[in-house]
Amino acid sequence: MPVAPKFVHVALQTNQLAAMRDFYCTMLGAHVVYENGVTCFITFDEEHHRMAFFQPPQGQLPERTPATVGLGHSSFTFPTLGELVEKYLELREAGIKPRVPVQHGVTTSLYYRDPDGNGVELQIDNFADADEATAYMMGPEYAADPIGPSFDADALAKDYQAGVPEAELRSRAWAAATPQLNVIELLTS
């Protein structure tokens, strides 16, 4: 039986190494492992680096646009809804707000944009294991709308802190009852 690889890191080219380093260190609670002005490596766990940034010395790279082929987003998961809410509040205090929160059903997700315009998803899994998530993805609710509704991230934090049951906060019904955004438009613009 073949051995499955383990995901290790993402490397991004940038024209603004310091801004990208600072954004991801704040976003992920990461720290710099190595930096030399052209390359920077950061990590937030046991891996020697989870993200790398490279600023070509030969000059400016063309600016990325939402209509450009490339990375749609990277995604980072939290073990609990409380930890996701805590990170949301910490980032909001630092002036970093999600572009669009989405209740996918399979995940509760907050989508951000980094200084270069790359998408960054912070999320929690809404099911105990991959089999349950896959079964949901093969069911009627997901088939009817695989993206899901947007939701108000401030309302999520407020309701979580008020003790609303997590099962309710992880539901599409709860999300649909909050102010809606055009998810597709925001994710692709």
Domain membership flag for residue 167:
yes
Domain membership flag for residue 59:
no
Domain membership flag for residue 3:
no
Q: Do 46 and 81 share a domain, yes or no?
A: no
Q: Do 162 and 91 share a domain, yes or no?
A: yes
Give per-residue pLDDT as tens, 26-71.
Answer: 999 999 999 998 999 999 999 999 999 999 887 778 877 767 777 7
The pLDDT score that the predictor gives to residue 89 is 97
Q: What is the DSSP code (8-state) at residue 150?
A: B
Q: Do 16 and 79 share a domain, yes or no?
A: no
Strand spans (E) along the chain: 10-13, 31-35, 39-43, 51-54, 73-77, 100-103, 107-113, 119-125
Cα–Cα distance for residue pair 72/179, rounded to 1 Å: 25
Q: Do 179 and 149 share a domain, yes or no?
A: yes
More reliable by pLDDT, 2 or 26: 26
Q: Do 47 and 78 share a domain, yes or no?
A: no
Q: Do 96 and 33 share a domain, yes or no?
A: no
The pLDDT score that the predictor gives to residue 1 is 67
Asked if residue 134 has pLDDT above 80, the reply is yes
Domain membership flag for residue 62:
no
Task: Check if the beta carbon of residue 93 is closer than 8 Å to that of residue 103.
Answer: no
Give the mean model confidence (pLDDT) for residues 94-108: 94
Give per-residue pLDDT as tens, 104-127.
Answer: 999 999 999 999 988 899 999 999
Assign residue 113 the CATH number of its domain.
3.10.180
Assign residue 14 the CATH number of its domain.
3.30.720
Domain membership flag for residue 108:
yes
Cα–Cα distance for residue pair 98/59, rounded to 1 Å: 30
Domain membership flag for residue 127:
yes
Q: Do 40 and 105 share a domain, yes or no?
A: no
Domain region containing 161: 73-188
Give the mean model confidence (pLDDT) for residues 72-95: 95
Q: Do 22 and 114 share a domain, yes or no?
A: no
The pLDDT score that the predictor gives to residue 4 is 77
Using the CB atoms, write b or e for 72-95: b if 16+ within 10 Å.
eebeeebeebeebbebbeebeeee
Domain membership flag for residue 66:
no
> Residue 88 has which token pair?
């949301």
Q: Which residue has the tokens 């003790």?
A: 163
Q: Do 102 and 154 share a domain, yes or no?
A: yes
**Mean residue pLDDT across the chain:** 90
Look at the chain and report how many structural domains it folds into.
Answer: 2
Band (3; pLDDT cuts 50, 70, 90): confident
